[in-house]
């Protein structure tokens, strides 16, 4: 059992670290780690695949080599899509320990379990493998991150009572999103009393800035609070949420989140109503539900920066067509493929946890962006 009293409400997700020319800015990460630790917070979440495999290394450089091992909790994940034979499990795990410079992980997750890969997790018996790692002390607690359906989740939980926690995507915009169905997943886990770690509380940053008329609704109630703080307070107000991960990229985001969780104020009834109102209006303006996880990017043969293109399309959908999205796109395609370069090979769609029809969406993006160069 995880001692919930030692888990901080705000976790530092190491998946969107600051970069300079595509290389993680380790000095800035060190400053962010220091700010976070000074605030009395100590939970760090990395993964084998984050930042093309560099995130675990940065965890060592910015955290493990600078703080006593018992002063922080470090979590990483097993990616089943990199496993082709039994021996890969130990090989990847040992590599993770070396990268991160640790001899144990506090929490360990089976990464991104969903309907399309669950059988592979069973085929390689990864749950039993993780239990053995727990017995040997190399993992303190085991769970999984989940991007699947509410139908499959109880099946997994029934079969694996050894699971100590589950990490799900949860934010106010996805609560009733028919693809993510956060509210249903939350209901299943809270009914069973399984501690929840929240990922994507700000939906990959898209709930950090909204249409002006929506921001006005929040600002009318709390003029000095950031728009992102509403998303964080929404998930932080839900019972059963153990920790909320934020993939912070700047010291400003770090400070804002720390201030939200210092003397945390749950949403009042009036504030909940405003969040519901904003959600309803947002759902009436459909945007591409890309969380910028970037799982799709590495394998694209045309080097198309899919999440950046989707962000550009969303900007146009939300704020109208203008100079800025085109200027951004024209800069992007100096180093990456155009939306119209897509070969329809489908590699990206096979790894997208949001199940987005990427090929079709890129075709739309090409119509909006490529013709105007
Ligand atoms: S379908 Fe298009 S965007 Fe996706 S990986 Fe293939 S070429 Fe890249
Ligand atoms: S398109 Fe899908 S896989 Fe790619 S960044 Fe967006 S959510 Fe992630």
Q: What CA–CA distance (Å, rounded) separates 321 from 326? A: 8
Beta carbons of 254 and 226 less than 8 angstroms apart: no
Residue 288 lies in a domain: no
Residue 322's pLDDT is 66
Q: What CA–CA distance (Å, rounded) separates 45 from 317? A: 32
Which of 301, 332, 343 has the most ligand 1 atoms within 8 A of CB, as the residue to mutate? 343
Q: How confident is the model at residue 282 (pLDDT cuts 50, 70, 90)?
A: confident
Question: Beta strand pairing status for 23-24 and 19-20?
Answer: antiparallel
**Domain hosting residue 141, numbered range:** 4-283
Of 283, 305, 325, the position where a domain reaches its end is: 283
Q: What is the Å distance from ligand 2's center to 308 Cα?
A: 10
3-state secondary structure of 161: coil
| Bigger pLDDT: 212 vs 361 | 361
Of 283, 311, 327, the position where a domain reaches its end is: 283
Give me the CATH number covering residue 151: 3.20.20.100
Instruction: Kindly state whether residues 202 and 349 are assigned to the same domain.
Output: no
DSSP letters along 202-228, please?
TTTTTTSS--HHHHHHHHHH-TTS-HH
Beta carbons of 105 and 76 less than 8 angstroms apart: yes
Residue 320's pLDDT is 62
Residue 289 lies in a domain: no
| Bigger pLDDT: 209 vs 191 | 191
Say if ligand 2 is within 6 A of residue 293 CB: yes
Across the chain, how many H-helices and E-strands are there? 15, 10
Say if ligand 2 is within 6 A of residue 290 CB: yes
Q: What is the Å distance from ligand 1's center to 31 Cα?
A: 36
Instruction: Kindly state whether residues 272 and 306 are assigned to the same domain.
Output: no
Number of domains in the chain: 2
Least confident span in 3-12, 31-40, 191-200, 358-367: 3-12
Most confidently modeled of 207-216, 273-282, 319-328? 273-282
Instruction: Kindly state whether residues 279 and 326 are assigned to the same domain.
Output: no
Give the tens place of pLDDT for each residue, 82-115.
999 999 999 999 999 999 999 999 999 999 998 8
- Percent of the chain scoring above 90 in pLDDT: 79
Instruction: Kindly state whether residues 277 and 300 are assigned to the same domain.
Output: no
Give the tens place of pLDDT for each residue, 104-157.
999 999 999 988 899 999 999 999 999 999 999 999 999 999 999 999 999 999
Of 258, 283, 308, the position where a domain reaches its end is: 283
What HEC string does 318-346 produce? Answer: HHCCCHHHHHHHHHHCCCCECHHHCCCCC
Which of 297, 359, 363 has the most ligand 1 atoms within 8 A of CB, as the residue to mutate? 359
Q: Which of 122, 94, 98 is nearest to 110 (CA)?
A: 122
Residue 290 lies in a domain: no
Instruction: Kindly state whether residues 259 and 138 are assigned to the same domain.
Output: yes
Residue 204's pLDDT is 79
Instruction: Kindly state whether residues 96 and 16 are assigned to the same domain.
Output: yes
């Amino acid at each position: 059992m995880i001692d919930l009293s030692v888990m901080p409400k705000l976790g530092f997700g190491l998946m969107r670290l600051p970069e300079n020319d595509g290389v993680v800015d380790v000095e800035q990460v060190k400053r962010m780690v220091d700010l976070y630790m000074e605030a009395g917070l100590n939970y760090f979440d990395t993964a084998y695949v984050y930042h093309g495999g560099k995130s675990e290394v940065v965890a060592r450089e910015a955290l493990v080599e600078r703080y006593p091992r018992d002063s922080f909790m470090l979590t990483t994940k097993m990616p089943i899509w990199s496993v082709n034979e039994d021996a890969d499990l130990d090989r990847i795990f040992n590599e993770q320990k070396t990268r991160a410079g640790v001899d144990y992980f506090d929490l360990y997750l089976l990464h991104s379990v969903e309907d399309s890969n669950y059988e592979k997790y069973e085929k390689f018996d990864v749950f039993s493998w993780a239990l053995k790692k727990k017995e040997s002390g190399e993992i303190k607690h085991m769970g999984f991150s989940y991007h699947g359906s509410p139908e499959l989740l109880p099946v997994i939980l029934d079969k694996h009572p050894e699971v100590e926690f589950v990490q799900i995507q949860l934010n106010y915009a996805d609560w009733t999103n028919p693809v993510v169905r956060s509210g249903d997943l939350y209901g299943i886990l809270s009914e069973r009393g399984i501690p929840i770690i929240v990922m994507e509380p700000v939906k990959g940053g898209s709930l950090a800035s909204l249409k002006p008329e929506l921001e006005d609704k929040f600002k009318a109630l709390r003029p000095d609070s950031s728009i992102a703080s509403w998303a964080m307070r929404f998930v932080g107000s839900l019972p059963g949420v153990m920790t909320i991960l934020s993939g912070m990229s700047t010291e400003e985001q770090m400070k804002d989140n720390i201030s939200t969780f210092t003397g945390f104020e749950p949403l009042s009834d009036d504030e909940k109503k405003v969040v519901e109102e904003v959600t309803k209006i947002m759902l009436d303006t459909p945007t591409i539900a890309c969380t910028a996880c970037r799982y799709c990017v590495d394998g694209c043969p045309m080097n198309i920066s899919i999440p950046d293109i989707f962000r550009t399309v969303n900007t146009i959908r939300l704020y109208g067509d203008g100079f800025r999205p085109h200027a951004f796109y024209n800069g992007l395609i100096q180093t990456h493929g155009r939306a119209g370069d897509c070969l329809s090979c489908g590699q990206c769609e096979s790894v997208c946890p949001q199940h987005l029809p990427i090929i079709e969406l890129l075709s739309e993006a090409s119509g909006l962006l490529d013709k105007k160069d």
